[in-house]
């Protein structure tokens, strides 16, 4: 009998291995996961595992679903400190008159440190094991993720105008590449180029990023086709829609994670499918900012990889990926006028495996498979809101809440145990965030 690090026995196991998994294979009952050296060793029946392996660390999850950790494919983690700062406004007014001025006044390395810690605590406690970030001071975000033990892809942000992080596009790219170089040996944190949006980054830096992405085998993370205003502005300025412009600049490829995509023509959906572009759907932020609806059902029908992200807490206003996944599924049905659009399994896939694909991490995370990192979460379905359990997968998507996330493992390390953080001191994180809130509020009223 082989000695291994740990064995986890849930009531139900949802491995999420392929988007086309047959219904009868989507949920396994009375199976277990053997974990050794931070990786999934095997998935087998309880009786089989008990005969093959011994471990001093066995976790029994009597009424739980064990599944891959959720992947937040688009967020701005440090913006937790601007949660609720300027609500109920359209995107460009929200950005130009409130968020950008606030960032110019307050954002520094300490802001990013405290805001990222708050975001990571919220994400781990709600079942997120990996996040794709776009913000200033990506070096700080990376260091906080490493310290907390969460997986992350930090964006090498690029914008034409100066900020506290850099003065021009060349400096943004240079500093981003320095961060990327610092992360080359990290087991948890990777990087991606993160030009903010077509309307904030000009042609020359975008073309340069396209070349660099190919040379360095690097993903590109960008807001694209978020609002009708963005489309109109691009047509007036460049004589073409943003996606066509990005295509001419060499960015429309499987490397691109295009965030929002609420304004799409049928021909553009075909282009996305043919080029292997990843779409990151942020339904709650789009609803709150009245930005529009991503045609998720049409994208899925053409084979486009659709992932899910929360966006930042300043426009959502939380980082709750379970709620985001439910919103994605429900909104897809309403937009398509079809109750079968984005079914429960497709929604879960979008928030796990599809996110890993969009981040270029599909060989490492996103599903529970032998050889992959043991990035997993347990959801307790014994809660009254999830009873009775006819279909565990449906309960996860349509009735479970983040308060039912009981345990979280990342690379085999248990970062949440029975709803308690094991590596982060929550009271200190909340205290530091509250101090920043008081400071920002005082400055706002002066």
The predicted-structure confidence for 74-88, as pLDDT tens digits, reads as follows: 999 999 999 999 999
* pLDDT given for residue 15 in this prediction: 97
E strand intervals along 271-341: 278-281, 305-308
Please provide the size of the chain in residues. 446
Sorted by where each starts, the structural domains of the chain and their CATH numbers stand as 2-68+372-411 (2.30.40.10), 70-358 (3.20.20.140)
Q: Are 122 and 318 in contact (CB under 8 A)?
A: yes
User: Cβ distance 258 to 74 under 8 Å?
Assistant: no
Q: Model confidence over 24-40: pLDDT tens digits?
A: 889 999 999 999 999 99
Question: β-strands 420-421, 413-417: how paired?
Answer: antiparallel
Bridge partners (DSSP) listed for residue 45: 31
pLDDT band at 313 (very low <50, low <70, confident <90, very high): very high
pLDDT class for 90, splitting at 50, 70, 90? confident
Is residue 446 over pLDDT 70? no
Q: What is the Cα–Cα distance from 150 to 1, expressed in whole angstroms?
A: 32
Q: What is the C-alpha separation between 304 and 279, in angstroms, rounded? A: 7
The answer, yes or no, to whether residue 444 has pLDDT greater than 70, is no
pLDDT in tens, 406-424: 999 999 999 999 999 999 9
SS3 call for 196: coil
* pLDDT for 373 beyond 60: yes
CB 108 within 8 A of CB 416: no
Q: How would DSSP label each residue in 5-41?
A: SEEEEEEEE-----TT--HHHH-EESEEEEEETTEEE
Tell me the average pLDDT across 300-309. Answer: 98
Alpha carbons 222 and 225: distance in angstroms, whole number: 10
The DSSP bridge partners found for residue 193 are 156, 220
Dihedral sign for Cα 240, 257, 223, 20, please.
positive
194: its two tokens? 């993160």
Query: pLDDT category, 65, cuts 50, 70, 90?
Result: very high
| Average pLDDT of every residue of the chain | 96
CB atoms < 10 A from the CB of 194, how many? 29
pLDDT for 258-295, tens place per residue?
Answer: 999 999 999 999 999 999 999 999 999 999 999 999 99
Q: Is the per-residue pLDDT at 445 higher than 70? A: no
pLDDT value for 95: 87
Cβ pair 407, 380 in contact under 8 A: no
Q: What is the pLDDT of residues 95-127, one digit of tens each?
A: 899 998 999 999 999 999 999 999 999 999 999
Q: How far is CA 131 from the centre of its chain?
A: 4
Counting residues of the chain whose pLDDT is more than 90, the rounded percentage is: 94
Rounded to the nearest angstrom, the gap between the alpha carbon of residue 84 and the centroid of all alpha carbons in its chain is 20
Side-chain-facing half-sphere of 87: CA atoms under 13 Å? 8
52 C-beta neighbours (distance < 10 Å), count: 14
């Amino acid at each position: 009998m082989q000695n291994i690090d740990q064995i986890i026995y849930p009531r139900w196991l949802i491995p999420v291995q392929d988007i086309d998994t047959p219904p009868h294979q989507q949920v396994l009952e009375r199976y277990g996961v053997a974990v050794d050296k931070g990786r999934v060793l095997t998935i087998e029946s309880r009786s089989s595992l008990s005969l093959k392996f011994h471990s001093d660390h066995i976790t029994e999850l009597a009424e739980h679903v064990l599944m891959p950790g959720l992947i937040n494919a688009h967020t701005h983690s440090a913006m937790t400190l601007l949660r609720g700062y300027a609500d109920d406004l359209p995107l460009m007014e929200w950005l130009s008159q409130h968020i950008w001025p606030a960032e110019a006044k307050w954002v520094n390395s300490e802001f990013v440190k405290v805001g990222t810690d708050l975001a990571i605590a919220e994400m781990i406690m709600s079942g997120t094991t990996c996040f794709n970030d776009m913000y200033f001071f990506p070096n700080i975000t990376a260091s906080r993720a490493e310290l907390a033990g969460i997986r992350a892809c930090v964006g090498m942000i690029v914008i034409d105008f100066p900020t506290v992080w850099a003065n021009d596009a060349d400096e943004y790219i240079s500093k981003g590449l320095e961060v990327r170089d610092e992360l080359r040996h990290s087991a948890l944190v990777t990087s991606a180029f993160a030009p903010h949006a077509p309307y904030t980054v000009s042609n020359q830096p975008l073309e340069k990023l396209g070349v660099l992405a190919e040379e360095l085998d690097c993903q590109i993370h960008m807001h694209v086709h978020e609002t009708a205003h963005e489309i109109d502005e691009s047509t007036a300025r460049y004589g073409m829609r943003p996606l066509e412009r990005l295509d001419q600049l060499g960015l429309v490829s499987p490397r691109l994670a295009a965030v929002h995509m609420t304004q799409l023509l049928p021909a553009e959906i075909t282009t996305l499918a043919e080029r292997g572009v990843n779409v990151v759907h942020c339904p709650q932020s789009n609803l709150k900012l009245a930005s529009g609806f991503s045609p998720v059902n049409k994208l899925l029908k053409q084979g486009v990889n659709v992932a899910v992200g929360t966006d930042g807490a300043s426009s959502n206003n939380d980082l709750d990926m379970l709620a985001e996944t439910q919103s994605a599924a429900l909104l897809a049905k309403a937009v398509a006028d079809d109750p079968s659009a984005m079914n429960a399994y497709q929604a879960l896939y979008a928030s796990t495996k599809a996110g890993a694909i969009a981040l270029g991490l599909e060989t490492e995370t996103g599903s529970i498979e032998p050889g992959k990192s043991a990035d997993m979460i347990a959801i307790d379905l014994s809660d009254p809101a999830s009873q009775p359990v006819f279909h565990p997968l449906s309960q996860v998507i349509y009735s479970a809440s983040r308060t039912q996330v009981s345990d979280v493992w990342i690379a085999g390390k248990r970062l949440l145990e029975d709803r308690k953080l094991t590596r982060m001191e929550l009271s200190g994180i909340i205290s530091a965030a509250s101090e920043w809130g008081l400071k920002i509020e005082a400055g706002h009223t002066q």
